[in-house]
Structure 1
Amino acid sequence: MRLAMNDVRKQRISESFGAAADRYDEHAGPQRTAAALVADIAQRQSPDGVARILEIGCGTGLLTRDIQTRWPGAELVATDISPQMLDRAASAGLVAGTFLAMDGEAPSFEGEWFDLILSSLAFQWFDDLPAAIARLVALLRPGGSLIFSTMGQGSFAHWRAAHAACDLTPGVPAYPSLDALRAMLATYGDAFAFDETVLLDGQSARALIGHLKGIGAVVPEEGRRPLSPAALRRVMVAYDEAGGRDVYQLLIGRVTRAAQA
């Protein structure tokens, strides 16, 4: 498997999601919503004539199974940084394709291969998002589209605020704003981005932590150490006292490569 720039952190991400593979689907409400959004946009963009599809960060196969249903005749290559997640997706049934352990930021392909490249909630783990998008767009055939969802700046805003109230810095990564993503995509001739807000189930710090642990999203931003137990308790109290409910801000992006004249 090819790992990108920060191999140590990427290995931690792989191991964390791998450890959560068996319980992931029980905690993946926002992930289901994000996958459905990506699949719906992709089908509107390319309802037919799709011969080859690449999925980045397939996880347990929420989007993968939808792809198989919508484009049953297409050749599908589903990839993930976690071999355990790949095994889970491949064993879930209803999916026929190639399953490849790969860091989506360093794709193991060259040239114009794919009619669709789809990804749901994987790009937030990339070290250099603009460069990764450029590499993936280069793999599209003329007229092909990259369609993805990723985390936006508004995600977990209440959790961040609880840390600020305690004069602490959260380990949650600094996700891009919608304007920042639009600026990244502005260099492409045919691209757009929009956002959707998804409210998390459960109303407490314990519910939020349980969700993040359940899906394996527990690797902090580079350079951040986990809070001490006492500091974590302070943040949890502040979060609960402020209402104890948080959201995902989903950023949805699409880039279509110009068709040949």
Structure 2
Amino acid sequence: MKKYLIPFLILTSMSLFAQEKLIVEYESRIEFDVNKGFVMTTTTDGGSSNTKIGANKEMEDKLKEAMNKPSYYNLILTPDESEFKIVEKVTNDQPSEGGMQIKISSGGGTTYKNLKEKISLKAVSSFNQDFLISDSLQNYDWKITRESKEILGYEVRKAEAIADSITNIIAWYAPKLTYKDGPDVYSGLPGLIMEIEINSDSQQKGKRKISYKAISLNVINDKKGIERPKKGKKLTQDEFTKWNKEQMEKMKEMYGGGVDKD
């Protein structure tokens, strides 16, 4: 009977691990050059659209104030799948006399990732229509350094990558948390990404930085897997960008607007 004990314990341990989900809450901040203008997401008839707006002095002050207020996101993950979505926090913020209230975030919707299939699906609404934006997970050429620090009691190590000609990424991952995942669309390191900075610099937009940092981590026992989003018309990112731009053109013609699309 004893010879069956070790295999049984191993199988039991694997079964329990398969039922676990990790929930990580991230604090997110965005910094950018307000003198270059900014992209504002507006909602009309249940749909959202992006418009590029120049910033006057009053707008600059409001943007700087908004940049001091973080957004929050939950990453719910298993070893192979994850779901990333914004957490709505109740605040006492009130609009100014002009009725304007600015909130800065890195985006809404829900992002699903499947590490085995190497895909992401982002569920978004735009112009009162639902879409699933499908994309392949980007294979970043991570360079792992010797630098380390601690986040939430875990040792994290620094890694760097270049996303494109104007964007570089700095990530801190926890080797003891063996989920090769992270916030938003980022993944591919030998441990959970606990903190990440995405820095870009272009002549048109100036310097921009988006950051996510883990502020809480909880493990729950749950037999259900991560639900893959199904609602919405499936498009690639390029197709969605093109469609959204066309809708903005139609709105501009309808209302005689004079905004620039980003």
TM > 0.5: no
Q: Which has the higher helix share?
A: 1
TM-score normalised by structure 1 residue count: 0.26
Q: Which has the higher strand share?
A: 2
Q: Which has the higher Rg, Structure 1 or Structure 2?
A: 2
TM-score normalised by structure 2 residue count: 0.26
